[in-house]
């Protein structure tokens, strides 16, 4: 029995040590996100309940790791021999497996702070661009403490496991047991130990095993997520994405979705081949007005409220709003740059956990296509590597004539792996626009900024503008935009140009009240032009990036076929807007905010005007169904159209 107790002590020591480190990671995550629990009532109870739930999730992961060493050691025990090589092998196994879990747990902390959700399998697509992604990670100085943390944790854990193994080797004795002892005592003890381990792997003694939804016990979205072990979340998201990349497809068939979308868009009859096509005819001649689209990296509406010492940090953007068409309730389709590019230019919404610019390019019509058909020269400017996110091949496949990127700029101008700063890209691009105009061609130019994306590099001049890098860089972005517009105003083509300025997506800003961060999708949309004699105008109706294409076509007086889910916001209205955040589907109106969490297939309905944060989905099932059906029909229809190449 002495050997059995020694093995049990070895396994339990490693098991509890692993759980202790998981709890440390959870505590760090909690400390870094104190803004989300600052005004929460009953915090003591919420902390206790969350960490108890977290213990169950942590124990589940630790039990999965323990099952193989447990089995091998118990079998060896039964046959009266535990080779030292086996103990060494178990040590290596534990160190490698736990190190992987610790890496995920560490990476999850900054990821959660950036996205307000745990690290999921969608992050794996970034490593298709391994060198560029790795460079970006190592250039972000705010990540350095996490590099130190993971090295310290893995080192301490490895030392502890090695010592536990050494102690086990010294304790184990070669003392053959009689058959009666094995059958009566050892075998039942091993079976009980296995049963306990399998119960831990299941996570629950209830009817169903532990699921993500079990962690959701309150109306506070942060506490609901805090209890989930990030390794469990990552693995579950991978499993769900592998089985069904777009899990809302199970809620509605493509045929049902198309019918709902046709009704929503007022399409009568519909083309069997292209079911949402609408022929938009205009009268008069095309004006050949230039178009400049500026996608501002991570520009949430909330960023326009940033202040330092009583001074607003985006004075130019706010000034531009005061003389433009401004859409107050405007939303990005997703939370990644590739989502914003495709939705803004081609009017198709984001699909869950799916990059929109894959190697095998989907071909669209959209703004670039119709302007190209009307003699425009289409130019795209970005600061860095054009192959990141497959931008170069996708854009050239989709009606752009020229991509300007890091390869066109002087090497010394690059400040990190994302390339040059925004101000230099604008400075470089302005003469290119003038050259095109002087050739007698109208142009559409798209500028994709990046300075507001980690790793953030703040020019020295802007260090005094605010107290944090995040705010300082917003002031820099505002100033870069000011210089570009003011310098452009000196060019002859300026007075014949429409500028569309919007975020590629937003950012997590301030305390998050709901299960899905609104600030990550709520972005500014400014349409400015010296041609507008009725500006400024503010629009309260709901809209999104997918509406830019038809709205621009209306402003340019170009006849076209609208085969997208977008509408002309100057002639039509939306009662609500839908958007995606990787594993969540949102839909918002003047009164309600609906969220579908795909990881636990749960619905949330919030009253935006209520101070009490309460999930009303069960209280108002008809409203919940209505919002769900609207948002799901849009995403399922888009998925069907893209997969069946009905986007051209």
Are the CB atoms for 332 and 505 separated by under 8 Å? yes
- Does 244 have pLDDT greater than 60? no
Report the distance separating Cα 180 and Cα 173, nearest Å.
19
Per-position b or e across 95-113, b if 16+ CB within 10 A of its CB:
bebbeebbebbbbbbbbbe
Task: Please compute the mean of the pLDDT values over residues 201-229 and round it to a whole number.
Answer: 85
Q: Are residues 190 and 278 in the same domain?
A: no
Q: Are residues 369 and 496 in the same domain?
A: yes
Q: Are residues 238 and 257 in the same domain?
A: no
* Domain stop point among 224, 243, 262: 243
Per-position b or e across 551-564, b if 16+ CB within 10 A of its CB:
bbbbbbebebebbb
Are the CB atoms for 524 and 321 separated by under 8 Å? yes
Report the distance separating Cα 385 and Cα 248, nearest Å.
34
What's the pLDDT at 264? 92
- What distances in angstroms separate CA 137 from CA 9, 133, 140, 646, one per listed residue? 39, 6, 6, 38
Q: Are residues 209 and 95 in the same domain?
A: yes
How far is residue 176 CA from its own chain's centroid?
58
Nearest to 254 by CA among 634, 513, 571, 522: 634
Q: Are residues 279 and 182 in the same domain?
A: no
Tell me the pTM.
0.88
Q: Are residues 229 and 288 in the same domain?
A: no
- Does 208 have pLDDT greater than 80? no
Q: Are residues 239 and 256 in the same domain?
A: no
Packing angle between helix 43-78 and helix 230-243, nearest 10 degrees? 80
Sorting pLDDT into bands at 50, 70 and 90, what band is 120?
confident
Task: Please compute the mean of the pLDDT values over residues 265-292 and round it to a whole number.
Answer: 86
DSSP 325: E
- Does 169 have pLDDT greater than 60? yes
119-128, 187-196, 495-504: range with lowest mean pLDDT: 119-128
Q: Are residues 110 and 163 in the same domain?
A: yes
Locus of tokens 């998981």? 22
Would you say residue 102 lies in a domain? yes
Sorting pLDDT into bands at 50, 70 and 90, what band is 452?
very high
Residues 567-617 have pLDDT tens digits of 999 999 999 999 999 889 999 999 999 999 988 889 999 999 998 889 999
* Domain stop point among 243, 270, 293: 243
Residue 333: asked if its preceding bond is cis (omega within 30°), the reply is no
323-337, 477-491, 505-519: range with lowest mean pLDDT: 505-519
Would you say residue 648 lies in a domain? no
Radius of gyration of the chain (CA): 28
Q: Are residues 234 and 288 in the same domain?
A: no
Higher pLDDT, 385 or 503: 503
Report the distance separating Cα 196 and Cα 69, nearest Å.
14
- Does 354 have pLDDT greater than 80? no
What's the pLDDT at 179? 61
Would you say residue 29 lies in a domain? yes
Question: Which DSSP string do the residues of 406-457 spell out, in sequence order?
Answer: GGGS-GGG--BTTBS-HHHHHHHHHHHHHHHHHTT--EEEEEE--TTSSSP-
What's the pLDDT at 401? 95
| Domain range enclosing 397 | 251-643
Average pLDDT value over all residues in the chain: 90
Higher pLDDT, 313 or 186: 313
Residues 70-105 have pLDDT tens digits of 999 888 877 777 889 999 999 999 999 999 999 999
Report the distance separating Cα 248 and Cα 598, nearest Å.
8
Report the distance separating Cα 201 and Cα 281, nearest Å.
62
Do β-strands 525-528 and 497-503 pair in parallel, antiparallel, or remain unpaired? antiparallel
Q: Are residues 172 and 310 in the same domain?
A: no
Report the distance separating Cα 276 and Cα 267, nearest Å.
7
Number of domains in the chain: 2
Task: Please compute the mean of the pLDDT values over residues 533-555 and round it to a whole number.
Answer: 96
How far is residue 238 CA from its own chain's centroid?
15
DSSP 538: E
Would you say residue 512 lies in a domain? yes
Q: Are residues 559 and 582 in the same domain?
A: yes
What's the pLDDT at 317? 98
SS3 386: coil
* Domain stop point among 243, 270, 299: 243
What six digits make up the tokens of 141? Answer: 């100085």
Share of the chain above pLDDT 70, in %: 94
What's the pLDDT at 182? 63
Nearest to 364 by CA among 378, 385, 352: 378
- Does 174 have pLDDT greater than 90? no
Residues 386-402 have pLDDT tens digits of 888 889 999 999 999 99
Report the distance separating Cα 564 and Cα 199, nearest Å.
50
CATH number of 468's domain: 3.40.720.10
Q: Are residues 224 and 299 in the same domain?
A: no
Would you say residue 390 lies in a domain? yes
Are the CB atoms for 11 and 70 separated by under 8 Å? yes
Higher pLDDT, 357 or 452: 452
Sorting pLDDT into bands at 50, 70 and 90, what band is 537?
very high
217-231, 419-433, 435-449: range with lowest mean pLDDT: 217-231
Would you say residue 224 lies in a domain? yes
């Amino acid at each position: 029995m002495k050997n059995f107790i020694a093995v049990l002590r070895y396994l339990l020591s490693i098991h509890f040590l692993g759980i202790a480190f998981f709890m440390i990671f959870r505590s760090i995550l909690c400390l870094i996100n104190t803004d989300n629990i600052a005004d929460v009532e009953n915090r003591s109870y919420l902390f206790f309940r969350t960490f108890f739930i977290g213990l169950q999730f942590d124990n589940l992961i630790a039990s999965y790791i323990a099952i193989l060493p447990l089995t091998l050691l118990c079998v060896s025990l039964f046959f009266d021999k535990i080779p030292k090589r086996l103990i060494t092998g178990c040590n290596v196994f534990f160190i490698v497996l736990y190190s992987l879990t610790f890496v995920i747990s560490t990476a999850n902390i900054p990821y959660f702070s950036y996205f307000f959700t745990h690290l999921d399998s969608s992050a794996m697509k970034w490593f298709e661009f391994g060198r560029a992604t790795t460079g970006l990670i190592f250039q972000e100085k705010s990540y350095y403490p996490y590099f130190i943390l993971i090295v310290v944790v893995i080192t301490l854990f490895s030392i502890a496991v090695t010592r536990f193994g050494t102690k086990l080797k010294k304790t184990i004795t070669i003392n053959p047991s009689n058959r009666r002892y094995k059958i009566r005592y050892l075998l039942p003890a091993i079976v009980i130990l296995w049963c306990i381990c399998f119960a831990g792997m299941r996570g629950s003694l209830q009817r169903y095993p532990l699921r993500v939804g079990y962690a959701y016990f309150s109306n506070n979205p942060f506490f609901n997520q805090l209890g989930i072990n990030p390794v469990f979340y990552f693995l579950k998201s991978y499993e769900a994405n592998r089985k069904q990349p777009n899990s809302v497809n199970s809620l509605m068939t493509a045929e049902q979705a198309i019918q709902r979308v046709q009704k929503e868009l007022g399409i009568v009859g519909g083309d069997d081949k292209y079911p949402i096509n609408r022929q938009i005819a205009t009268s008069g001649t095309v004006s050949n007005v230039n178009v400049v689209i500026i996608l501002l990296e991570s520009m949430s509406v909330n960023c326009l409220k940033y202040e330092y010492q009583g001074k607003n940090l985006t004075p130019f953007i706010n000034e531009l709003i005061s003389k433009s068409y401004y859409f107050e309730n405007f939303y990005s389709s997703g939370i990644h740059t590739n989502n914003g590019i495709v939705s803004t230019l081609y009017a198709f919404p984001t699909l869950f956990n799916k990059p929109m610019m894959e190697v095998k390019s989907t071909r669209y019509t959209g703004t670039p296509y119709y302007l190209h058909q009307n003699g425009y020269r289409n130019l795209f400017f970005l600061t860095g590597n054009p192959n990141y996110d497959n931008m170069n091949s996708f854009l050239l496949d989709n009606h752009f004539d020229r991509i300007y990127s890091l390869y066109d700029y002087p090497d010394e101008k690059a400040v990190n792996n994302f390339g040059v700063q925004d101000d230099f890209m604008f400075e470089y691009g302005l003469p290119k626009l003038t050259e095109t105009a002087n050739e007698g061609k109208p142009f559409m130019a798209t500028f994709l900024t990046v300075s507001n994306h980690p790793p953030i590099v703040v020019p020295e001049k802007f260090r005094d503008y605010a107290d944090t890098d995040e705010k300082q860089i917003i002031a820099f972005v505002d100033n870069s935009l000011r210089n570009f517009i003011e310098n452009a105003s000196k060019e002859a083509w300026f007075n014949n140009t429409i500028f569309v300025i919007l975020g590629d997506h937003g950012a997590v800003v301030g305390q998050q009240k709901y299960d899905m961060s609104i600030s990550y999708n709520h972005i500014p949309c400014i349409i400015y032009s010296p041609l507008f004699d009725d500006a400024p105008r503010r629009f309260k109706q709901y809209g999104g990036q997918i509406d830019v294409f038809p709205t621009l076509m209306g402003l340019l007086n170009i006849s076209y076929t609208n085969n997208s889910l977008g509408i002309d916001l100057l002639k039509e209205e939306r009662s609500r807007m839908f958007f995606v955040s990787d594993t969540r589907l949102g839909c918002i109106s003047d009164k309600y905010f609906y969220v579908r969490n795909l990881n636990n297939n749960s619905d949330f309905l919030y009253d935006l005007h209520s101070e009490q944060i309460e999930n009303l989905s069960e209280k108002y099932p008809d409203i919940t169904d209505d919002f769900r059906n609207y948002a799901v029909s849009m995403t399922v229809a888009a998925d069907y159209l893209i997969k069946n190449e009905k986007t051209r």
